Chains A and B, each alone.
Chain A
Amino acid sequence: MSSSDWEAVIGLEIHAQLLTQSKMFSPDSTEFGSGDNSNTHPVSLGLPGALPVLNKKAVEYSIKTGLALNCKIRQNSIFARKNYFYPDLPKGYQISQYDQPLCEEGWVEYFLEGETKRVRIERAHMEEDAGKSLHRGEYTLINLNRAGVPLLEIVSGPDMRSAQEAAEYARTVRSILLYLGVCDGNLEEGSMRCDCNVSVRKKGADRLGTKVELKNINSFRFIEKAIEYEIQRQIDCLESGESIFQETRLYDSVKNKTFPMRSKEEAHDYRYFPDPDLLSVVVETAWLEEIKSSLPELPLAKAQRFVREYQIPEYDSSVLTQDKALANYFEQVAEACGNPKAASNWIMVELLRELNEAKKTVVESPIPSAHLAELIGLIDKKTISGKMAKTVFAEMWKTGRAPGEIVKEQALVQITDDSAIENLVNQVIAANLEQVEAYRAGKTKLFGFFVGQIMKASKGQASPEMVNKILTEKLKG
């Protein structure tokens, strides 16, 4: 049996750390990187007698996200205690939501290889983060600065069929979180964490296979790689007659392998029950409407609008809208130069390449949107050729200067004068009669050779369009 007989079923649990100043149930700071155990409070330490009081902002951010994920918002949701023992879990239970979560039954769509894909969101619920364990071999150290930081856990349906889809879904959710400004989406720092549930089954089978949970994945690339590895591992297992254990596996990015987390024999029994320290979370309709009306335009809507308004390809618009700042940049360039297609091309090809190489975001780009718009204007007015523009662009990236200035200084003006170009063409033909003969005998590939010679003679300044036109005529003889 080959791999193509199997189908992977993937669902993601994304934990998004909400960008509040203070913790979910106490007034200590959420700041990252403070001194050891310096962001604590009787509540986040789980001291005797400490009680939780809910942070309103955490609820607001959760509702915002739920709405952006097209969820139904439960106007009466319940906090429950999830009971288990772990040294970095101060109270011996985590305050979470169980059978009555805040957000349910939503969906997101993303664009992949020419297709629009939809993933269901089963639920999104509020919960508090645990502290951090630092394993030192002989002993373990506990830092509770992170304990009590608000999280939104977003649980997808088992709707993805490939590693690529899963990564794309995660990117989509991240971009929504960033658009909303509710999470900084940093996988490396753990402010966004993805657990992947992966199973495989024979194609066409109704029943789901045994699922394995993958944890400890801290980049989108690794989501893809870890899932790919895991799918193949499960297929190999099943094909050699072994069975899959329901377990949690960790991904090792260096070895590109998943391996089982040392697991206890004992099965979990979290003994969820409603937290009697907290009342049910009542979301008034007026507040819900207020939040709804404050939602920004989201990536998908923006992408659709870009296709409609600017007539750029779907793929381009989906890339351009992944990051809100990039989308804004594009709109500014497109509006200023009046040529959205060129704006999209320059950003997609030149600007993103430079940004990626320099590991910079568009906000840090040395080329402001006005400069790029000016550059496109120079091309459109035929002041410079596309080829020249690339040189100018490189200079703009390096120096941060405006394209007009660069063009003026380097005297980079395109030759568009008919007779001047005709002169150049004539010179080149006269100097290469043998090649002209060959061309006329059918070796038309030599056309490029002539263009090259002419451009060289013009120091790159001849308009390529006009060179083509005049050369074609002259070569006809």
Chain B
Amino acid sequence: MSIVHQSLFELKELINKGEMTAVEVTETFLNRAQQLNPKVNAFISFNEKALEEAQRVDQRRQQGEDLGPLAGVPLAIKDLLCTEGLKTTAASKMLHNFIPPYSATVVERLQTAGAVVLGKANLDEFAMGSSNENSFFGPCKNPWSLEHVPGGSSGGSAAAVAASMAPASIGTDTGGSIRQPANFCGIVGVKPTYGRVSRYGIVAFASSLDQAGPMTKTVKDSALMLEVISGQDPHDSTTSSRRVPRWSEALSENLKGLKVGLPKEYFSDQISEDTRKAVENCIEIVKAQGAEVTEVSLPLVKYGIPIYYLIATSEASSNLARYDGVRFGHRSNFQEIPAKDLAEFYSRSRGEGFGSEVKRRIILGTYCLSSGYYDAYYKKASQVRRLLTEQFKKAFEACDVLLSPVTTHPAFRLGERVADPLQMYLNDIYTTATNLAGLPGMSVPAGFSQDGLPIGVQLSAAHFDEQTMFNVAYAIEQALNLTKRWPDVQQ
């Protein structure tokens, strides 16, 4: 078996035992990723210094230094996280040539733990999208079927792992952007509790919703990566000072005494047959592992999509105001056609630099915050958000983990939904509420459709209770044993 399909833990072992050097591992993935990228388009750029970084890890090992939990493992980083000296584009024309002078805290922590940055993964522009079709660098494809989308916005991060172009990756999740592509690509994807992981250095989409998280082949890999990137960051006021548990060491598939809640609003008749079967199978698994399954009700989640889009676009309209072509980023050619005033100086650069979905959301958000609409839209949504969050808190008094589908259907075809943004937004129907309430959530592989497309199951837990969520995911993973099945992208 080639090492490219191995888990992060397995690779770690190889490197630790000296069976392979970090350089060899990195080179293997770099070659494969560069070879497959024309087909999958999972990467926007590769790190020219990846091998140098790996070499440093090997040198440190030779000198007997403590190498950290990710020593020598190459990772794909969503191109939304700043990497010092390495182009960071947010998949936008606006930032197509932006080289940050600093790195995101998440990237720094991964590197401190010995990880090597392999390259920057494709995404929907500024993380706005559910299909990775809104990328200035072209759509990313689903490795299981190149006619299908990988999901989004962290489509490149998901596809890179599914296609074994990288053993693991980092994505970000504002309304489902880690879980939905993980679900479409048959991998594990975790959105941590809001405040677990620093947002510093991550191009902001919606500040009160964004969280970065791991996307991996196994639950244990995700648990380990999350341990590395979690914890208070002096550069991010919204990170929690809570202790970060060693989740990966405490995984247990024994679910005795655990209550798993099934939110009845998430089991609608819109769900495809394949998805329903896969999710029901997972329910049987958790029961078999000793968990008690109960139905819970979250009536307000039906407003999840509108509240989410009202809040996310409002925050985004302000977060994206800094892209004005003054200090960095795209500036229209004013030598050729001068701007007649300051307003045009901005409008033209921004109008040219942003793609159409980003513009649509900025306009929507600006409208929701503008005088006369603030109360009815932004404020109202923020009030319902509180009620919704309280409803979740109540639900977690009755159960420990919520289990549901991630999406109604497996991956859809490229181009299928681009024309209707509302239909595209409805993709996020089961994922947005988790972000609104700040809960930890994840997608873990649950099976395949009859067409051979992956299907995941969504789990979420109370604030800061990632461990319980990981345990249920681990039980499902161990029972299904799907981790040794991978797509054949070559054919």
Contacts and interface: CB of A to CB of B under 8 A. Distances in A.
Asked if chains A and B are in direct contact (CB within 8 A), the reply is yes
B327 A49 contact: no
A276 B321 contact: no
Contacts of A85: 321, 324, 342-343, 346
B21 to A, nearest CB: 33
Nearest to A52: B237
Interface in A262-278: 264, 266, 269, 271, 273, 275-278
B321 A93 contact: yes
Nearest to A49: B201
What is the size category of the interface that chain B forms with chain A? Answer: 35 or more
B100 interface: yes
Contacts of B204: 48-49, 277
Contacts of B203: 48-49
A277 B239 CA distance: 10
A106 interface: no
B404 interface: no
A51 B235 contact: yes
A83 B237 contact: no
Q: In this complex, which of A45, A50, A142 has the most chain B Cβ atoms within 10 angstroms of its Cβ?
A: A50
A266 B317 CA distance: 19
A338 interface: no
A206 B280 CA distance: 72
A279 interface: yes
Nearest to B88: A48
B207 A277 contact: yes
Contacts of B370: 269, 271
A92 B321 contact: yes
Interface in B299-324: 314-315, 317-318, 320-324
Contacts of A86: 342
For A48, A51, A91, A273, the residue with the greatest tally of chain B CB atoms inside 10 Å of its CB is A48
Contacts of A225: none
A379 interface: no
B199 A51 contact: yes
Given A50-B200, A269-B370, A277 B238 contact: yes
A457 interface: no
Given A47-B102, A49-B104, A273-B318, A279 B202 contact: no
Nearest to B102: A42
29 contacts: A42-B101, A45-B327, A47-B327, A48-B95, A48-B100, A49-B81, A49-B82, A49-B202, A51-B235, A51-B238, A53-B235, A87-B326, A87-B342, A91-B322, A92-B318, A92-B321, A93-B321, A142-B326, A142-B327, A266-B343, A271-B317, A271-B318, A271-B366, A271-B370, A273-B318, A276-B208, A276-B315, A277-B204, A277-B207
B236 interface: yes
A193 interface: no
B328 interface: yes
Contact of B378 (A46, A50, A273): A273
A48 B205 CA distance: 10
A93 B320 CA distance: 10
A374 to B, nearest CB: 56
Chain A to chain B: the 5 pairs with minimum beta-carbon distance, closest first: A92-B321, A276-B208, A276-B207, A271-B369, A49-B201
A90 interface: yes
A51 to B, nearest CB: 5
Contacts of B236: 51, 53
Contacts of A142: 326-327
A81 interface: yes
A377 to B, nearest CB: 59
A64 to B, nearest CB: 22
Contacts of A271: 317-318, 366, 369-371, 374
A51 B235 CA distance: 7
Interface string B231-254: 000111110000000000000000
A83 B327 CA distance: 18
Most buried by B among A45, A277, A279: A277
Given A90-B322, A93-B318, A277-B238, A46 B327 contact: yes
A46 B322 contact: yes
Contact of B324 (A81, A92, A264, A278): A92
Contacts of B326: 87, 90, 142
A278 B235 CA distance: 11
Interface in A423-477: none
Contact of A278 (B82, B237, B371): B237
Nearest to B329: A48
A92 B322 contact: yes
Interface in A89-110: 90-93
B237 A279 contact: yes
A54 interface: yes
Contacts of A144: 327
B433 interface: no
Interface string A32-58: 000000000010011111111110000
Contacts of A91: 321-322
A91 B326 CA distance: 11
B98 interface: yes
Interface in A123-174: 142, 144
Interface in B178-205: 199-204
Contacts of B321: 83, 85, 91-93
A48 B89 CA distance: 10
Contacts of A277: 204, 207, 237-238
Contacts of B82: 47-49
B100 A47 contact: yes
A277 to B, nearest CB: 5
B90 interface: yes
A48 B322 contact: yes
Contacts of B238: 51, 276-279
Given A271-B369, A273-B374, A276-B315, A47 B101 contact: yes
Nearest to A45: B327
